[in-house]
Chains A and B, each alone.
Chain A
Amino acid sequence: MSDHGVTLTDLPLEGERVEVSKFSKVIKIAGLIGAVTLAISLAILFLGSGRLRESFSYSWLFACYYFFTIALGGLFWVLLHHVSNSGWGIAVRRVMEHLANMLPFSFIFFIPILILTEPREALYEWMKLLHTNPDDVLLKGKAPYLTMGFFFFRFAAYAISLCGMAWLMRHWSLSQDRTGDVKYTFLARRFSAGFVPVFAVCCTFMAFDLLMGLDYAWFSTMWGVYIFAGSALSSMAMIILTVTFLRSKGSLNKVVSIEHYHIMGKLMFAFTVFWAYISFSQFFLYWYAKITEETKFYILRNTEGWHYVSLLLVFGHFVIPFVFLLRQQAKKDMRQICAACCWVLFVHLIDIYWIIIPERGPSITEGDKLMIPYGILIDALAFIAVGSCMIWIFLRSIGKYSIYPSRDPRLLESTRLVN
């Protein structure tokens, strides 16, 4: 219980700009590392050949999808915020908006593995089968969906709709900063209600196309919800970390209090449980029914070394954060919550890794090997390349506008938040 006594007169009308100069070093380093690793990565993707290139396409997909899910979650939180007419999170909403606006960049990163024939055929077997064995019974059955034209059309549709929604949401928010007109609040609320179903469809089918499609024979109705659960969770962790980073640089201190951390911690806790519920249900139903075409996904991931990764997910993605975040103190103590966020981002990384990479060995070596020996190195390369580029773009975008919506009509409600 704390009333911070913040009134509107304490908050300047034009809001508060982050002084990018305070962390220009971080930006520079990220940019430098990003440039070097990106150059190597693109060289492998465009100029490489053979198994290295094929293996690296998996690494690239893993890195891209990981950062894509975080940006996607950012959009979810923005939409949820508007549609539920929430007041608590106005102070941190701009951070969510910036995160959501990383979506266009994350879509750009996907492009190399989709336009280059060899990498995309290494990833998606059905694309190869389309011309090597077009009479494949299973593929024929899925023909209208699994065709190149429709695949690219869908990808473009996801990109346009998701990026468009993210852009519009921030656009209205920024317009309100300038004019202080309440109509933007209502505009955003109305449109975000309509956007939620679009978001759900895009999130689901993107996960079907790019992740479930790695093995075109496998399927699960829960898949979209599963990917969504991880996205929302990791994104909330990223939001908390960003807010803490900005606070450590002297921004946001007037508007964000420990009460906001408490709420965000609770949401992270809720989504930890939700993820566990969804992933357990999916695993459990396939395990219980024991139908070959369904269990193959889990059999692969419970074989040899992957078995330990699966166990790590059970404990790391659910048990540890669940027990840790259960206490109120953990959500109200900045250090503890940030530690939890780092952990959540790490296990989400493992989750995406565990979804994509086990398909690589059997697919590239035609069932000969489970893992590629140097795999982890190129995965790390891809991760660093995409990651540091993302950090570079994200930190630069943060300084452009006020770091909280300074004329939002619910700003006072948010700064006076009591939990």
Chain B
Amino acid sequence: MADAQTSEPIRPVLAREPLVTNGRSMSWVTNKICGIVENRQPALWWYLFIPSVILMGVLGYCLAYLVVTGVGVWGNNHPVGWGWAITNFVFWIGIGHAGTLISAILFLTRQKWRTSVNRAAEAMTLFAVICAGIFPAIHVGRFWMVWFLAPVPNANGIWQNFKSPLLWDVFAVSTYFTVSVIFWYVGLIPDLATLRDRAKKGIRKLAYGFFALGWRGANRHWRHYEMAYLLLAALSTPLVLSVHSVVSFDFATSIVPGWHTTIFPPYFVAGAIFGGFAMVLTLMIPARKIYGLQDLITHKHIDNMAKIILLTGTIVGYAYIMELFISWYGGNKYEQAAFENRQFGYYKWAYWAMFFCNVISPQVFWFKYCRHNLWVVMAVCMCVNAGMWFERFVIIVTSIAQDFLPGAWDFYHPTRIEIWTFVGTFGLFLGLFLLFLRFFPVIAMSEIKGVLPESDPHYLPPETFTHDAEGEKLSHKGLKKTAKKTAKKTAKKTAKKATKKATKKATKKAAKKKKN
């Protein structure tokens, strides 16, 4: 390279930000991730788990009370037949979208940063779909008749209305759940085998051994595994789009003003990804801190997810504005009235809360400072979580509370039972997630090892790059020096720690001896 000799590089080569920082090795990754499962959980885990279990109990009580007493315990009334139950269903099913997006679409598009967050996001997807599934099941009124949702032959010869989007929902959601479980499980197999190999005691070894399906890491295993994973990714990609599109059809195929608009399917999908990513960050930022995973879930990962939130939030904003524009441009009086009611009617607080949380608040992510400040990221994610719930509330309640006949209008407000049912699902969600952290490898070890620089056969030596990922010029002499310095520092630190430990041990021993 003749250019290297001159001081000014005339042909720059930009580096990429590393996906694992601090040059962590493969064994470090294994020890770190397996350690979470193998060691005792930190006290905080219990402080979170116990309230979650209590909330699960509350959920159980509310559901039992509902089934025993009847849907009269809810605030649903004549025009508002859907109320909170369906709002919560759509909310939770939306949360369940980021997992499959990360695991399937980002896999197909070769976005390697997904490896740090895909496992947890997929697990979160499953738990969110479980929470979502509760609501339509109890909303049917007679819970014991819920099997009527499935097209099974019955004595009365009654079949479902196959033209109804509500029935398609049953198919879409159950397909989504099944495929997501399989996808998640297939991805887990190599890591379960690692846990099995490290397990010392009987039950642990047996359980991980059973679920690892005899994985030995053979070449043939990997070949089949990778093909299966690719095919499952390709199969789940349309599901990311289809589930929420079908959910949107529940509304958009009707002629209710405010529901019937053609942009609903992509708008719902964008909204679901938006809400899902916010929830992933809500869970992963604390988890990263608690378990010390900062080298695996780096600022780069959070930055990327914040950008996706900004993008999808802006798409959602585009959809809101399109809806408003076309409701006016279309010239349909009912449609215009529906949007006027949303913005200036009884529920205007919900509309403006939604607009602020979903469209305005993510705009701070235009600034790098905000994407890198975890408090800001958490605050925006909380806004988005709330905003996405409000969105569904606005769509459902405002449109049907004031429908075509003013004489039939009625105000809807939830009862305590409804509120506690919803709060209870958070307990279920969080409790399941905490159990996941306790028993499963939270980050896909085998995949993250695949994105380490040493596993890249086309690895470029660091001298190739003239600039780092931020565009700062690299001086390789300086690099070597700083590397040496940091190595010295860390060596000093570890030495200090070791001496501290040694002195502690010595003092303890001395104390014991004294006691004796």
Contact = CB atoms under 8 A, between A and B. Distances in A.
Given A197-B314, A200-B318, A186 B471 contact: yes
Contact of B254 (A282, A289, A418): A289
Interface in A249-298: 266, 273, 277-278, 281-282, 284-286, 288-289, 291, 293
Contacts of A128: none
Interface residues of A, number: 49
B467 A285 contact: no
A277 B265 contact: yes
Nearest to B255: A289
A14 to B, nearest CB: 11
A301 to B, nearest CB: 15
20 contacts: A8-B1, A8-B13, A180-B10, A182-B471, A186-B471, A200-B318, A219-B329, A221-B262, A222-B262, A223-B262, A266-B108, A273-B238, A278-B266, A281-B262, A285-B261, A285-B262, A285-B265, A286-B262, A293-B332, A419-B110
Contacts of B322: 204, 221, 224
Given A142-B329, A219-B329, A289-B260, A407 B266 contact: no
A15 to B, nearest CB: 11
A376 to B, nearest CB: 30
A182 B329 CA distance: 46
Contacts of B262: 220-223, 281-282, 285-286
B271 to A, nearest CB: 14
Given A182-B471, A282-B262, A412 B13 contact: yes
A334 interface: no
A-B residue pairs, 4 tightest by C-beta: A221-B263, A409-B14, A222-B262, A409-B12
Contact of B458 (A200, A217, A219, A418): A418
A183 interface: yes
A213 to B, nearest CB: 10
Given A9-B1, A13-B10, A293-B332, A222 B253 contact: no
A285 B261 CA distance: 8
B329 A145 contact: yes
A409 B322 CA distance: 39
B403 interface: no
B206 interface: no
Contacts of B265: 277, 281, 285
B11 A180 contact: yes
Interface of B: 1-2, 9-14, 16, 108, 110, 238, 241, 245, 249, 252-255, 260-266, 314, 318-319, 322-323, 326, 329-332, 366, 457-458, 460, 464, 466-467, 471
With a 10 A CB-CB cut-off, give which of B252, B254, B460, B467 has the most chain A CB atoms.
B252
A141 interface: yes
Nearest to A219: B330
Contact of B245 (A281, A293, A418): A281
B14 A410 contact: yes
A219 B263 CA distance: 11
A285 B264 contact: yes
B17 to A, nearest CB: 10
Interface of A: 3, 8-9, 13, 87, 138, 141-142, 145, 180-183, 185-186, 193, 197, 200, 204, 217, 219-225, 266, 273, 277-278, 281-282, 284-286, 288-289, 291, 293, 407, 409-413, 416, 418-419
A289 B256 CA distance: 10
A221 B323 contact: yes
B332 A409 contact: no
A172 to B, nearest CB: 14
B110 to A, nearest CB: 7
Contacts of A410: 13-14
B367 to A, nearest CB: 11
A222 B263 contact: yes
B293 to A, nearest CB: 24
B467 A182 contact: yes
Given A225-B263, A281-B265, A286-B262, A182 B253 contact: no
A313 to B, nearest CB: 17
Contacts of B464: 412
Nearest to B261: A221
B32 to A, nearest CB: 28
A277 B243 CA distance: 13
A113 B401 CA distance: 47
With a 10 A CB-CB cut-off, give which of B110, B318, B330 has the most chain A CB atoms.
B330
B463 to A, nearest CB: 12
Contacts of A8: 1, 11, 13
A138 B331 contact: yes
B241 A142 contact: no
Given A284-B253, A285-B253, A285-B261, 10 more contacts: A142-B331, A180-B9, A186-B471, A221-B326, A266-B108, A285-B265, A289-B253, A409-B466, A409-B467, A416-B458
